[in-house]
Amino acid sequence: MSRALIVIDIQNDYFPGGALPLFQPVETEARIVAAIEAARRAGDRVILVQHVSKASGGLFDATGAGVAIRPAILAAAGEAPVVTKHVADAFQDTDLDTHLTGIDTLLVCGMMTQNCVVFTAMSRAADAFQVRVVGDLCTAPIEPVHRIALGALGSKLTVCKAADEWPDLEA
pLDDT tens-digit map of 34-63: 999 999 999 999 999 999 999 888 899 999
Contact present, 58 and 64 (Cβ < 8 Å): no
Residues of the chain with pLDDT > 90: what percent? 95
What tens digit of pLDDT does each residue of 74-125 get? Answer: 999 999 999 999 999 999 999 999 999 999 999 999 999 999 999 999 999 9
User: C-alpha angle 111/83/162, rounded to 5°?
Assistant: 45
- When pLDDT is averaged across residues 148-163 and rounded to a whole number, the result is 97
How close are the terminal C-alpha atoms of the chain, in Å? 25
- The pLDDT, as a whole number, for residue 56 is 87
pTM: 0.97
Q: Quick one: pLDDT at residue 57?
A: 86
How far apart CA 41 and CA 64 sit, in angstroms, is 34
pLDDT at 170 over 80: no
* Residue 36 confidence (pLDDT): 98
Q: Which among 133, 105, 130, 129 has a CA at the least distance from the CA of 119? A: 133
Residue 21 has pLDDT above 60, yes or no: yes
Return d(Cα 153, Cα 101) in angstroms, integer: 25
Residue 84 pairs with which residues in a beta bridge?
50
Side-chain half-sphere of 112: how many Cα atoms within 13 Å? Answer: 22
Average pLDDT over residues 149-170: 93
Give all domains of the chain, ordered by start, each with its CATH number.
3-165 (3.40.50.850)
